[in-house]
Amino acid sequence: MTATTPDALPRRRLLDAPPHWTTVLAVVILVAVIAMAVFASQIAPFEPTKLNPAMRLKPASSTYWLGTDSFGRDLYSRVVYGAQVSLLVGGGVTLASVLIGLPLGLLAGWFRGFDAVLMRMMDGMMAIPGILLAIAVVALTKAGLVTVIVAITLPEIPQVVRLVRSRVIAARSETYVDAAMLLGTPATRLITRHLFPATIAPLIVQGTYIYAAAILTEAALSFLGVGIGTEIPTWGNIMAEGRLYFAINPWLVFWPAIVLSLCILSINLLGDALRDRLDPKMKGRSP
Amino acid sequence: MASYFLRRVLMAVPVMAFIALFIFLLLRLTPGDPAQAIAGDHATPQQLAAIRESLGLDQPLASQFLAWVGDMILGDFGKSLISQRPVLEMIGQRIGPTLALASVAMMLTVLISLPLGVLAAWRHGGLIDRFVMSLSVLGFSVPIFVIGYVLISIFAVNLKWFPVQGYKPLAEGLGAFLHRIVLPGFALASIYIALVSRMTRASMLEVLGEDYVRTARAKGLSDRIVLFRHALRNAAIPILTVVGTGFAMMISGVVVTETVFNIPGIGRLVVEAVLARDYPLIQAIILLTAGAYVLINLLIDLSYALTDPRIRYK
């Protein structure tokens, strides 16, 4: 852009302006959580499942940084390993709900008849409280990583469908879509080349919120005892086991709670920052 | 007016039908034998046969579905596989605490988030605004069960103002009831407060830019009257909408809150049902809560039409 063309709009880039300090903090925390998950076996001083009945419910010490739980397992190691399940479930749910919701939303935005039927179905799915639906799925199948991902993905799909659909409907009234239609562009090409790009930015933003929501729901399921199972440490089931000894050592609950909350908070903050940069229209979201 | 009402009510029918079909297929289409899934790995052939018979699994899918829906319309939601009692009766016994908890949370939400949202919009960009926005990010990010334990730790364990857990019905006295429901009510309300105050703020910000707000100010009305009488009333529809759609979130929150605070409501019942694989009970609870969601949102939609004639003609 030069002084002779004052009307030219500057291209908005992701890092045009320095990020807000909360965004920087969020990224730092997320990198730490990812490192915890990836390098868990190097970071954790103990096996997270190693029982040691002689060391039950010990307070924090130089050996056991955060103390031990009711089975004598090292709390710090368990919290570190807990990051693995949370991040895996978050990633799986985000990927699955976008892969299913995106094509449905594109079709619903384009084909009126399909839209009417599909949106009633999505209304129906949104009426079922997410945790109840997830609980029902877990109850029917064997508890495991895939089951939990499926269970949490189902209630997230309508959100993606509605978002994509609304963006497609908005884009349809744009001149470039009219132009493409007048040129006789076939529907498949119109959808994939002209309408789909309009949904990318909002999907990235929504994806971060889904990631955060999935981690939260997984933790809630584990906490309720209907999650992945107790043999794998997750932040939710560490809290569920710790709550029985809350009166003796509340930190059995609070340490996983703090890491869990910080992780979700960071993802949400990152989502807000991405939204402000990529998609200012979405300000004031209501997830 | 009457035709709008009728149309809106009729729209709820296919939604409910889909919910019923979805829950029905969830059990039937799960890979493997549903009877086996319900009974667990150690079931005897007799137990499996009994489950198949009680659920009608030997019938064709379509007739199973119609029979199931027909029974529900007549008020028969089936019997528990464990206690053999009608599930409606079991739900009826446990619904009191849940309704009490949800109502308290709802009241706290309205009392806290409406003024917060209005103030934040009024002093847009100011200290209160930033406080409300930070609070709402926190409310979305910190899970209810974490908030619950923080509240227990501060107000029950350390300050000893409230009991750690438990529930007393209203019939045993208002004092005893409130004493036990305040902490869980706050925990459950936390995410709702975040949602509603954010929506109130956004909706108020939009309305405050309107001409009639400027007119009201220009004729010298006080800020309080402009905010609460002119602006808030017109900002109400998006706020009410979010209250309605947030109901599903509230029920999810109830399950967790009841576990943390040991409240014998529907949330505990559903977790017990899952651990016992009592599928008719799970089905009934999901259907009834989804039905409640559809009903609440229907009522909210109809209330718009009553207050705002523009909606009726759309």
Separation CA A226–CA A241 (nearest Å): 13
Separation CA B294–CA B301 (nearest Å): 10
User: What is the phi/psi pair of residue A87, to 5°?
Assistant: -70, -40
- Give DSSP secondary structure letters for B46-100: HHHHHHHHHHTTTS-HHHHHHHHHHHHHTT---B-TTT-SBHHHHHHHHHHHHHH
Q: How far is A26 from chain B (nearest CA, A)?
A: 12
Separation CA B257–CA B63 (nearest Å): 39
pLDDT surpassing 70 at residue A284: no
Least confident segment among A46-55, A70-79, A249-258: A46-55
Which residues in chain B are closer than 8 Å to A250, comparing Cβ atoms?
149, 153, 157
Q: Give me the pLDDT at residue B224, please.
A: 83
Q: How far is B220 from chain A (nearest CA, A)?
A: 31
pLDDT surpassing 90 at residue A34: yes
B256 vs A223: CB contact, 8 Å cut-off? Answer: yes
CA–CA–CA angle A85, A87, A93 (5° rounding): 95
A140 vs B27: CB contact, 8 Å cut-off? Answer: yes
* Closest Cβ–Cβ partner in B16, B256, B277 for A139: B277
| Interface list for A 30-89 with B (CB within 8 A) | none
Q: Which domains does chain B have, with CATH numbers?
A: 94-270 (1.10.3720.10)
* Closest Cβ–Cβ partner in B141, B144, B252 for A129: B252
Separation CA A255–CA A253 (nearest Å): 6
Least confident segment among A94-98, A232-236, B43-47: B43-47
A287 vs B37: CB contact, 8 Å cut-off? Answer: no
Mean pLDDT of chain B: 85
Predicted complex ipTM? 0.84
Q: Give me the pLDDT at residue A231, please.
A: 84
| Interface list for A 203-232 with B (CB within 8 A) | 212, 216, 219-220, 223-226
A224 vs B256: CB contact, 8 Å cut-off? Answer: yes
> Could you tell me the pTM of the whole model?
0.86
Which residues in chain A are closer than 8 Å to B152, comparing Cβ atoms?
246
Q: H-helix or E-strand containing A192?
A: none
Nearest CA in chain A to B36: A140
**Mean pLDDT of the B152-159 span:** 87
Q: Which of B227, B258, B210, B310 is nearest to B98 (CA)?
A: B258
Confidence category of residue B235, pLDDT binned at 50, 70, 90: confident
Separation CA A287–CA A158 (nearest Å): 12
Helix, strand or coil, per DSSP, at residue A144: coil
- Give the helix ranges, DSSP H, for A128-172: 130-140, 145-172
Q: Give me the pLDDT at residue B233, please.
A: 80
Which residues in chain B are closer than 8 Å to A129, comparing Cβ atoms?
248-252, 255, 286, 289-290, 293
Q: Let me know if A193 is exposed, middle or buried by CB neighbors in 10 A (0-12, 13-18, 19+).
A: exposed
Helix, strand or coil, per DSSP, at residue A68: strand
Query: What's the pLDDT tens digit per position in A11-27?
Result: 555 566 778 888 899 99
pLDDT surpassing 80 at residue A287: no
* Closest Cβ–Cβ partner in A139, A265, A284 for B274: A139
Query: What's the pLDDT tens digit per position in A148-184?
Result: 999 999 999 999 999 999 999 988 888 888 898 889 8
Which residues in chain B are closer than 8 Å to A223, comparing Cβ atoms?
145, 256, 259
Q: Which of B52-56, B137-141, B185-189 has the highest mean pLDDT?
A: B185-189
Which residues in chain A are closer than 8 Å to B202, comparing Cβ atoms?
283-284
pLDDT surpassing 50 at residue A4: no
- Cβ atoms within 10 Å of A96's Cβ, excluding its own: 20
Q: Give me the pLDDT at residue B158, please.
A: 83
Confidence category of residue B232, pLDDT binned at 50, 70, 90: confident
Q: Which of A258, A282, A255, A257 is nearest to A271 (CA)?
A: A282
